[in-house]
Amino acid sequence: MAFVKKTRYLLAPPYCSSVETFISPILSSPSEVPDGLKLAGGWRCFNNLRVLQKKKII
């Protein structure tokens, strides 16, 4: 199973040809991030993302 290492920098630019890029919103309540984006028009909001990157096997 893959091990997820938390780092400060991206492996490569998002969606470039050498990596696979996936995003996951970091969710909060609307009162915690009043300027945040609304998730799917629902009850949770986000400003930040978890970006997962994996080197492509060529």
Partner 1 sequence: MIEVQISTQEFLKAAKKHSNTSLTKAEFQINNLVNIRLPFAKLDMSKPHIMGVINITPDSFYKNSQIHNLNKLKKSYYEMINNGASIIDIGGESSRPGAEKVSIIEEKNRVFDPIKHLKNCKGASLISLDSRNLSTMKTCHKIGVDIFNDITAFKERNKIEFISKTASPIIIMHMQKEPKNMQISPKYSFAPIDIYKFFSKKIINLTEAGVKKSNIVVDPGIGFGKTLSDNLNLLKYLPLFHVLGVPILIGASRKSLIAELTIHDYKLRGKNKKKIIPSKRLSGSIAFAIHANMCGVQILRTHDVFETNQALICQKSLYL
**What is the contact surface with partner 1 in residues (CB under 8 A)?**
1-11, 13-16, 20-27, 29-30, 37-44, 46-54
Q: How far is the CB of 35 from partner 1 (least distance, A)?
A: 11
Beta bridge partners of 20: 54
Which lies closer to partner 1 via its Cβ, residue 20 or residue 34? 20
Residue 41 in 3-state DSSP?
Answer: helix
Judged by beta carbon, residue 13 or residue 34, the one nearer partner 1 is 13
Cβ closest to partner 1, residue 34 vs residue 39: 39
Structure tokens belonging to residue 19: 């990596």
CA 16 to centroid of chain Cα atoms: 15
